[in-house]
Structure 1
């Protein structure tokens, strides 16, 4: 067993821990920036998460090579996901400049229908969050509410972007084991005892 094979589980663990760290850091920043009574307005949190979700989808749809997510490319010998932990972090942890440019172009109407729609839903969510914060808070609390909203939306979009890439990269790393686990789960489902419903 070579050194690279021995380090694979550690790389998978570190990549997963980074995703959890992003979630924790985003929640911590939101809690520090948001007004003290923000928890009484769950709509602010929900709207920010929804806006970030739309933004993350828009980022994924703005990638220059969406075909990399197809199963026919994930498990091939020349898979774009056959990279090291450094490769996944350096190339996919944050959106690349070409992805951001494509997203900006989509907001101008230059893109697929889903990409344009997701981008504009994210923009509409940002505007709605600013209006909500403006109506419910005043003075410094208003600025804090808007900043917390934007922070949570951005973190949600970045986490979704990274998580999608991480999931596909992990599938590539696990390759054989993924199919073995899927086969065991299928056999368990196939031969399970029928439920006795009333």
Structure 2
């Protein structure tokens, strides 16, 4: 009788820097979506923030890694910015990524029934943080009147945050399934 060859299954190993690849991929997707998504009534989702919030929820980086994610996200946003001062993205995305990381570290899974809503919470608060920092920079750099800031810019920040809340929550679960199916692991804590 002929013996069949033995099949050996090896579980996927993520590698030490898999988190960099996952984050880079998500930021690239965010940049492409930001570039092609039209604004509606002056509001465009900030896909970059949504994507780094998803990445941070998946990989749980340390503070140094979050700073790197924020700086890369800010740099990626500069060429696609429709702002009069695109370099403000470096500071605003840094702030958003750090806030997201601190929230992910501080919050256990937040449940609404059986649904983990931590991605929505982090997406909203990170977008608000990034938006407030960015609009604050614009107000100072462009010497904008307080009325323009309060009634023109802040409403856009909060509407964008609401949109990003939905995007982050909806896209987190498919990303999580892919990440875990491929042997996902959190960042190495160096």
Query: Normalising to structure 2: TM-score of the pair?
Result: 0.32
Q: Whose radius of gyration is greater, 1 or 2?
A: 1
Q: Which has the higher contact order (CA 8 A, sep 6+)?
A: 1
Bigger helix fraction: 1
